[in-house]
Structure formats: structure tokens, C-alpha cells
Amino acid sequence: MSVIDEVKQRIDIVEVVSQYVTLTKAGRTFKALCPFHSEKHPSFFVYPEQQSWHCFGACNTGGDVFTFIMKKEGIDFGEALRLLAQRAGVTIPSRFEQDAGKDKRERLYQVNEATAQYYHNLLLNSPAGEKAQKYLANRSLSPETITNFQLGFSPNSWEALKQYLNERGYTQSELLTTGLIIEAETGKTHDRFRNKLMFPIFDIRGRITGFGARVFDNSLPKYLNSPQTPIFDKSGSLYGINLATATIRQQNLAVIVEGYMDVITAHQNGFNNVVASMGTSVTEKQVSTLKRLTKNTVLALDADTAGEEAMLRGVSHENTLDAEVRVIILPRSKDPDDIIKEDATMWQHLLEEALPVVDYTFKMVTSKLDLTTARDKSLAVDKLLPIIAEIKDMVRQAHYLQ
């Protein structure tokens, strides 16, 4: 149990708040004149069961016992933790700063988990979520798949998520840090994700680090992701890795695709070793993550210019993996989602016929040139020689030089 959890377990928010204001019992809650603004009628409520508070007046904010102390005493989270730990009789470890840093990161994971549950519940159980349900049904996703990936719906509201999380004890600072809300130049904040299909992004340990979001029409941008945060780095994340890890180890093979729906459709059809780079650029960080599970990787990026350019970087990924990377050649205007839905056996065939990345590169480069001309031969050498030079295996390098 973390220091934060132990303090919250031992501290009663009613006792703490009552040291600053006079609380009056109102059913299962307590009410008072708000200690943070002047008012004549009580708008400040404390909820013992949730161990939270909320002002429905001018403040229009709330939180847990930590946020109350921070706001009332004008101190930061670390100081509030020290103060409440002392009151609760909880000993803070000597390596407090390091532990506090871990606790702060843990809080960010908790914020994301609460957010994912909120979005998922809206998708399944609210009238507003019916639009998202219809979209997913049209994409042929089963209820089990929707649950497995914890897909959600963000409402078309500027403050719905912010208010929901504030009421559950999460601070504005934490919401800003996770990127779930945005602060305008005026100082006002609003929800980042609105009227979107939501994809929680998990790390290999099953923790939610960030979110992807998709529009329901063809408007641009089609996708929106969480910004870089202390717990989310898009360049090092692989969508679906939490569900794919066991199968990747078992089959000793990982397949990298581009998009969220590619992964979801693959898993629904039994191809559970598929993960997504969430874009065309496969990074060294992503490849390094997979190296802990397998040395065998197949790239299945969309057959467009960006995808082809990404595959050209496959040799450097081979060096990271210390193994050969293979490439699936996708039909034009088709992505893995389309192919698997139309014919899962075709996808299996493409996997079996995947080319070594250098062979693919040779094929791609030479297909655009006329090798009967000296000029194009020279161009081929200029493009291919640096790639061959990257190959660490001398036998393979000699093979391609021939």
C-alpha cells in the first residue's frame, strides 16, 4: 500500500474539514458555508462514503482530503501529504522524495483508470453512447471485444469529465498533467476529448498511460491522442501490448500494424500477437519493448508512401532486435482491418509470405527504376548501398552485395 493510500485509509475527511468549517448533517452528507468563497447559503458538501467534497457555488470544484488541505492551507501536494500523514500517524519513508514521485505517478495511473471506466460506462449505459455503440456495431465488433479493450465514449461536453474526476478527489493539477483537460490562455480549463470514440492505451503491465480518440465522421483530424506526460510517451507505446504479450511469447512472433482498429479486429479474429505503433513511424523504443518478448517481428503498415518509408527503417530495427524483420505487402487501399474482415485466411497467408525487410526494400526501390539504364542503376546503388551497409551480419551483407 502506498503512503497516500495508507493516509486516506486512516483519515476521515469529515473530521478534517470540520476543523475548518461548521458542518451540518444533511442525510448521508454534510453541508456548510464554503470555506473558499463568501456566501449566505450552504453550497459546500462533504461525502463521507466517497471521502470527497464539492462546492456547488462560485468555486464549482471539489476533490478529496488532500485537495481540501492544499486549497485551504495554500500548500502543494507533498506538503499536504506530510501534514495529513502526521495527523494520521503514518510514517513517511526516509526516501520520501523518491516515494512521493512514485506516488504522484501512481495517482496519474489512477486518474486514467477512473477516466477509462467513466468513458466505458457512458458507451455502454448512456443514451449519448448509443452513437458510439452503433459505430462499433457497424465495424463488426462484439460486446466481448468492446469490454476487453475497454472502449469508451467521451460526451460532447466541455467539463463533464473534469467535474466527474474532481468529485472523486482528483485535482486540476493532476488532470492537466495527464492531458485530460486543457488550460486556455484565459486560465479556464476544459476537457480535451469531446464527442469521440475512446481507446485507452495500456502499457505492458496493464496500466492505462494515455488515450487515443477517433471522430465518428470523416472530419479532420480523424484521431487525437494524449499529449506527452510523465507516464505517456506515444513513441514508446504499443497499442494492445497488454493483451498481446502472452501470445507473442507463446508464438515467438509479434506483428506491428498502424491503427487501433487493426489491432482490435485482429484480436477479435484470433490473431492475438498484433500490436499497433499508432502511426506509420515504428520507433526504436517500440522495437526494444518487443525485444523483451521475441526477436521475430513482422511489419504490416499501410501500403502508402509513409508506410513504405517506415519500412525502409526496418534494417535499423533488425540491429536493435539482433534478428531479421519481415514485411507484409498489403494490397493497395487495404489495411489489416479490411483484410481480416474480408478474409482472415488471406491475412494468415500474408503473414506466411512476409518478406525479409531488405528483400522488400530491394523490391520497392527497383520497382520504380529501369535497371537497363545506367542512370537508374546508379540511383539503385545510391539508395540500397547505405541500407546494406547497416546490416551487421556479414554473411547477409555479402549476399545482398552480390
- C-alpha–C-alpha distance, residues 359 and 314, integer Å: 11
Q: Are 220 and 252 part of one and the same domain?
A: no
Q: Are 170 and 274 part of one and the same domain?
A: no
pLDDT tier at 212, thresholds 50, 70, 90: very high
Cα R_g (the chain), whole angstroms: 26
85 or 365, which is more confident? 85
Q: Residue 303 pLDDT > 80, yes or no?
A: no
Mean pLDDT value across the chain: 89
The model carries a pTM of 0.73
Residue that is last in its domain, among 198, 232, 266 = 232
Q: Are 109 and 209 part of one and the same domain?
A: yes
Q: Are 71 and 124 part of one and the same domain?
A: no
Q: Is residue 396 part of a domain?
A: no
Percent of the chain past pLDDT 70, that is, above it, reads 94
Q: Which residues pair with 181 in a beta bridge?
A: 191
pLDDT for res 312: 65
Residue that is last in its domain, among 71, 92, 113 = 92
Q: Are 337 and 247 part of one and the same domain?
A: yes
C-alpha cell at 41: 447559503
pLDDT for res 311: 61
Q: Are 289 and 169 part of one and the same domain?
A: no
pLDDT in tens, 241-282: 999 999 999 999 999 999 999 999 999 999 999 999 998 688
Query: Do residues 278 and 260 touch, judged by C-beta distance below 8 A?
Result: yes
Residue that is last in its domain, among 64, 92, 120 = 92
Q: Is residue 142 part of a domain?
A: yes
- Give the CATH number for residue 323: 3.40.1360.10
Q: Are 29 and 80 part of one and the same domain?
A: yes
Q: Are 250 and 323 part of one and the same domain?
A: yes
Q: Are 108 and 171 part of one and the same domain?
A: yes
Q: Give SS3 for 94.
A: coil
Query: How many domains would you assign to the chain?
Result: 3
Domain hosting 26: range is 3-92
Q: Is residue 320 part of a domain?
A: yes
Q: Give SS3 for 20.
A: coil
pLDDT for res 16: 95
Q: Are 122 and 227 part of one and the same domain?
A: yes
Q: What letter would DSSP give residue 252?
A: T
Per-residue pLDDT averaged across 206-219, rounded? 94
pLDDT for res 268: 98
